[in-house]
Structure 1
């Protein structure tokens, strides 16, 4: 690693932290299972991922990817339509790969967590009751049987890196597992509905848009409590609460 003159704190809370030192990221996670999955998933994924430099639990050192993030939730993306389409094509390549050999979440598990989170949001007066109920009804569309594929599981736009119109890599694989293909597509376009057409052009197959919208509502409902409890603001413009407020029946 080259000499560095500062350490950047990328994210930090009581469960995990990520630090950047020059061209190296140091990920520290109290749950070793998360980094076990991350390392295994990156080794299996048929798309570009960061190089693992070394690992000494609870620390994982990975090389920085070239390029910049596709975008950030709550901010306009300056990436080109071709870059978004390239992201869609990369997701399709991942989904076409053999399944990872560990289990994913079942519909019943997701439903139970969703109901618990909705109850918490209403009980603690975090969101208006009608907003929660409306989005819970929308989310129901996603809670159906699916054919599992190799999913990233947390495919936020900030986890996809591009250089011009080319994908240079995808980071943060700790939630990778067999799952619903449309969940990855929904996560990638959360808060950026206007980019969905570009992503699907690259993905190359028809999808059920109602299910995509259902996953937008479901992911946002699941995320609000965690964000609040970890010091983030889900009500910032363009973020989860905005997504819930703009949802359509």
Structure 2
């Protein structure tokens, strides 16, 4: 008999696994419906939708294994990273979904959120002032106008699956919408800068590495306190705080 395992759980959302079926429970019905639509529209491999009855979405497991994990060396070949980059290009070139992702274009709101978070990180003694200040300077480069694209919105590396050189699936589309395409590239390569060139080789076109590094700082500054509050450890070797330290 298959056991029920909790993949992730917090007050807004939870994901359970039963055998090869994942059950996503979301308190926000509109967000769950957007996730279903995003997977339907995305021109890249996504999980098969088994059924959808709010507040639950049932999806099938995708073939393969995660491309990499934060805090661990990647065992995936460079070709798999390039394949992921090519898939991102297809997604970003696709017709826009009819909704805007989180902070999908409001630079003033994003800058204000970032500044407030930096102040709290220092005031609460979570991170040293010089580390926060330096990364806030680096992050500024990401706060520029961009051409909206169809973005995943939360493309951390554990959401990308491959089998050998082949990309087999991208999961968790709950934050998908119109947004900055380089944010997706940055999120997928966070903690694995050694594979950025492989991803960009598959991605093609114009993709400024300086903007991607800026997003590494920006995303990480915004996530450190959330991770701590939800019992994750951003201070683990190779984790989020080491990403910030690399910018020093």
> Is 1:86 aligned to residue 83 of structure 2?
yes
Q: Which runs of 5+ in 2 are unaligned?
A: none
The answer to whether 1:50 aligns with 2:74 is no
Which stretch of structure 1 is more off in the superposition, 49-58 or 168-177? 49-58
**Residues 205-220 of structure 1 mapped to structure 2, 5 A cutoff:** 205-220=205-220
Q: Secondary structure at the match of 2:91?
A: helix
- C-alpha distance in 1, partners of 2:55/2:226? 22
Question: What does 1:71-150 align with in structure 2 at a 5 Å threshold?
Answer: 71-104=68-101, 105=103, 106-150=106-150
1:119 to partner: Cα distance: 1.4
2: CA distance between counterparts of 1:37 and 1:124?
A: 36
Secondary structure of 1:130's aligned partner: helix
Shift of 1:97: 0.1
Alignment partner of 1:39 is 2:10: no
Q: Per-residue deviation at 1:46?
A: 0.6
| 1:14, distance to aligned residue in structure 2 (A) | 2.3
Unmatched 5+ stretches in structure 1: none
Pick the aligned partner of 2:58 from 57, 61, 67. 61
Kindly tell me the number of residue pairs found equivalent between the two proteins: 245
Return the alpha-carbon distance in structure 2 between the equivalents of residues 81 and 143 of structure 1: 30
After TM superposition, where is structure 1 displaced by more than 3 Å over at least 4 residues in a row?
A: none
2:23 to 17, 22, 26: 26
Work out the CA distance in 2 between the residues paired with 1:103 and 1:6.
37
Deviations 1:6-60 (A, max 9, x none): 1121112222211110110011122223212211110110111111111222211
> Displacement of 1:125 after TM fit?
0.8
TM-score normalised by the chain length of structure 2: 0.96
Deviates more, 1:5-14 or 1:199-208: 5-14
Query: 1:5, CA displacement in angstroms?
Result: 2.7
TM-score of the superposed pair, with normalisation by structure 1 = 0.95
Paired with 2:6 and 2:124, the residues of 1 have a C-alpha distance of 31
Does the residue aligned with 2:34 lie in a helix, a strand or coil?
helix
Cα distance between partner residues in 1 of 2:26 and 2:227: 17
Q: Does 1:17 align with 2:53?
A: no
Instruction: Provide Cα deviations, 1:75-114, integer angstroms capped at 9, x if missing partner.
Output: 1110000000000000000000011101232212211211
Alignment match, 1:232: 232
